[in-house]
Amino acid sequence: MIKQLSSYSVGTTATSVSGARSGSEDSRSNQRGFKRQSAHEVNTSSRSMGERGQTNGDGDGAGRPGMFRQISTSLMQSGRAMVRRNSFTGLASGDSSASTRGRNRGDMLGKQGSHRSSASVGVFGGGSSGKEPRRRSFSFENFNLVHSEPSTERDILEAKVQDRDEQVKHLEHDKRENEENMKEFRSEFDDVKRQRLQDEHLRKLQIHRLKREHKAMTARVKVFKRDMHDKESLHGYAELIKGAAPTAVDSSYIMRLQSQLSKAIKKMEAMEGQMNLVQETCEEVLVSLNEEIGDVIDEKCKVQVEMQEQVDNIKKERAAMEKKFQDELAKEEEKHKKLLEKENNINNPDVKEEEDDGSLKDDEEETQGIDDEINKIKKELSQLVNEKEKSERALRSAIRKKKEEIARMQQLTELQGESLRRLELESE
C-alpha cells in the first residue's frame, strides 16, 4: 500500500509538473530543478519516517497508525510545496491554468493520502480487535525518483582504449627486443665478416709463400738432377779421389785423418749451435711479424668494413636526396608550366591593362622565385656531389695506404723467408 501511495504521489507530481511545461524555456529549467529537489525531499522524508516506523514497530502494533499518518502528512506537505513552486513558476511564465491545476492536484493528493492512511490503520491491525498485528518489514532505500543510467558506451570505449594501450606497450616492448637482437646480430655479422677477411688475407699470404717455396724447391731439384746425370763431373771427382789417395797407408796418415775428422766434427757442432740460435731468432722474428701482419690485417678489415658501411650509407643518403630533389624539381617544373600557361592565356582584350600589368608582375615574381629555388637546389646537389667525391677520395686514399702497408709487410716477410732459406742452405 505504501508503494501504491508513493507511486500515486509521483504520478500527481508528474502531472502537475507537466502542466507547467507550456511556459517558456526558463520555467522548464526551474521546474526540472524543483522536481529534483522535491523528489529528494520526498525520498529523505520517506526514509526518515520508515526508520521511525521500524523503531515504533519493534514495541507493539499500536504505533503503526501514527507512523502511516506521519507518512501521509509528509507526502501531502511535500506535494503542496511542489504545487506552490510549480504555481509560482507558472505565474512567472504567464500560465495561470497550470498553477490552478497543480493546486487542485495537491489537494487531491492530501485528501487521498489521509484517506489511505486511515485505511492502513485497519489493514495493519491498529484497531480495537485486540489481535496481535502482523509484522511487515519495508524500506525506502531502493525508492529513488531520479535514476541515472550507467554509461555503458563510455565503459566499452575505456576498455577498448586500455586494450589498445596494452597492445601498444607490448608492441613497443617487442620493438625494443628486436632492436637489441638486431644490434647483437649486426655486431656478430661484423665480427664474422672481419674474421673472414682476415682469413682470406692470411690464406693469400700462405698461398704466395707456398708458391715461392715450391719454385725454389723445383730449382734445387733441377740442379740435383743435372749434377747426377753429369758424367764428366763424376769422372773428374773420381780422378781427384784416386790422385789424393795414398799408395801406402801408415799410422801417421790415419792419425792425421782422425784429427781432421775431429776438427770437422767440432766445427759442425759449433755450426749446429749457431744454426739453432739463428733458427730461434728467426722463429721469434717470424712470430712477431705474423702478429704484426695479423694486427695490420685486422685493422685493415675493420677499416674496410667501416668504409663499406659508410659508402652504403652515403649511397642511401644520396639516393634519398636525389629522389627528394627530383620530386621538388618536378613540382617546380609543374609550377613553371602553369605559370607559362597563365602567361599564354593572359592575351585577353577584355581584361584591363593595369590588371594585366599586375598579373604579369606577379607571374614574373613567381617565376623568379621558382628560378631562385631551382638554382638553390642545383647548388645543394652540386655540394652533395662534391662532398661525396671528397669522401670517396678520402676512402680510396685510406685503402691505398693500408694496401701499401700490407705490401710492405709482405716484402719484409719475403726477405725474412729468403734469409732463413740462405741460412738453411749454408748450414747444409
Residue 362 belongs to domain with CATH number: 1.10.287
Tell me if 92 sits within 8 A of 65, measured CB to CB: no
Share of the chain above pLDDT 90, in %: 4
Residue 350 half-sphere exposure toward CB, CA atoms < 13 A = 1
Structural domain ending residue among the three candidates 99, 126, 153? 126
Whether 50 maps to a domain, the answer reads: yes
Structural domain ending residue among the three candidates 92, 126, 160? 126
For the question of whether the overall pTM of this predicted structure is more than 0.75, the answer is no
Whether 132 maps to a domain, the answer reads: no
Whether 371 maps to a domain, the answer reads: yes
Structural domain ending residue among the three candidates 98, 126, 154? 126
What residue has cell string 491554468?
Answer: 97
Specify burial of residue 373 (Cβ count, 10 A radius: 0-12, 13-18, 19+).
middle
The span from the CA of 32 to the CA of 45, in Å, is: 20
How many domains are there within the chain?
A: 2
Q: Which of 34-48, 125-139, 288-302 has the highest mean pLDDT?
A: 288-302
Whether 20 maps to a domain, the answer reads: yes
Q: What is the mean pLDDT of the chain?
A: 68
Q: Which are the contacts of 377, defined by CB distance < 8 A and separation ≥ 6?
A: 325, 328, 329, 332
Whether 302 maps to a domain, the answer reads: yes
Q: Can you give the residue range of the structural domain that contains 427?
A: 270-345+357-428
Mean pLDDT (whole number) for 59-88:
55
The span from the CA of 20 to the CA of 338, in Å, is: 68
Whether 364 maps to a domain, the answer reads: yes
Whether 240 maps to a domain, the answer reads: no
Whether 229 maps to a domain, the answer reads: no
pLDDT digits (tens, 9 = 90+) for 333-358: 888 788 778 777 775 545 445 555 55
Three-point CA angle 387, 391, 395, nearest 5°: 170
Q: Rounded to whole angstroms, what are the CA distances from 395 to 151, 193, 300, 306?
A: 68, 19, 12, 10
Kindly tell me the sign of the dihedral angle through the C-alpha atoms of 218, 222, 223, 227.
positive
- 239-263 burial, b at 16+ Cβ within 10 Å, e below that, comes to eeeeeeeeeeeeeeeeeeeeeeeee
- pLDDT-derived band at 20 (thresholds 50, 70, 90) equals very low
Which of 294, 286, 309 is CA-nearest to residue 197?
294
